[in-house]
Chain A
Amino acid sequence: SAVISQKPSRDICQRGTSLTIQCQVDSQVTMMFWYRQQPGQSLTLIATANQGSEATYESGFVIDKFPISRPNLTFSTLTVSNMSPEDSSIYLCSVGRGQDGYTFGSGTRLTVV
């Protein structure tokens, strides 16, 4: 299965600023998924990123707040823009599909102060 390197592992940011999270996969993958995990909660899908096309966002998430880049088949970034304390969460990237299973990055713990 694929191996994902996710950076940064954690950060403390000022409100109103932006943070970009990176995920590098050791193999080419068609789809990458970005999740948010709020404190004590389950994972919620933010968007699906396909190479060469705009990301597909889930209900409640918008591109202006969470812009995603997918420049090639092994790399993606998620930016959390104009942050507020409500954005304090763990953010995870993932790759895979049903029959192959899913692999996750190690997560980015974001605290907004």
Chain B
Amino acid sequence: AQTVTQSQPEMSVQEAETVTLSCTYDTSENNYYLFWYKQPPSRQMILVIRQEAYKQQNATENRFSVNFQKAAKSFSLKISDSQLGDTAMYFCAFPANSGGSNYKLTFGKGTLLTVNP
């Protein structure tokens, strides 16, 4: 069974600084996708960034980037120039190909990030 592990329950960072959230996963598949989602207090799940496993280049979306290490099954999220609006719960997620017809998302336990002024 696929698993997703986020080992940092909580993190804090000063505004304008950089922070990295870690995520490891376990899978026997070769081609897959990995996601980071953000959940602010509004509880809306917002896609932050997506990585395709067959692409060696790390994904980047403005201030958000990933460090994807396929062999190590590691998928960390780096947030540069942190802003107060980045305060949220961050979930690493992995869609499992279950029987070829059902791509269910498995989530890590989440990291609560607080950006301090």
Contact = CB atoms under 8 A, between A and B. Distances in A.
Given A45-B104, A106-B43, A107-B43, 20 more contacts: A31-B102, A31-B103, A33-B104, A41-B109, A42-B107, A42-B108, A42-B110, A43-B91, A43-B107, A44-B107, A48-B104, A90-B43, A97-B103, A98-B32, A101-B47, A102-B93, A102-B95, A102-B105, A104-B44, A106-B44
Q: Is the interface of B mostly helix, strand, loop or mixed?
A: strand
Given A42-B107, A45-B105, A97 B95 contact: yes
Contacts of A45: 104-106
Contacts of B105: 33, 43, 45, 94, 102
A101 B50 contact: yes
Interface string A43-55: 1110010000000
B10 to A, nearest CB: 11
B97 A98 contact: yes
A78 to B, nearest CB: 16
Contacts of B45: 43, 92, 94, 104, 107
Interface in A77-105: 90, 92, 94, 96-99, 101-104
Q: Is the interface of A mostly helix, strand, loop or mixed?
A: strand
User: Which of B33, B43, B91 neighbours the largest number of chain A CB atoms within 10 Å of its CB?
Assistant: B43
Interface of B: 32-33, 35, 42-45, 47, 50, 52, 91, 93, 95, 97, 102-110
A107 B45 CA distance: 9
B102 A56 contact: yes
Contacts of B52: 99
Nearest to B95: A98
A109 B35 CA distance: 24
A91 B39 CA distance: 14
Contacts of B104: 33, 45, 48
A98 B33 contact: yes
A41 B110 CA distance: 8
Given A31-B102, A33-B105, A42-B110, A102 B47 contact: yes
Nearest to A47: B104
Contacts of A104: 44-45
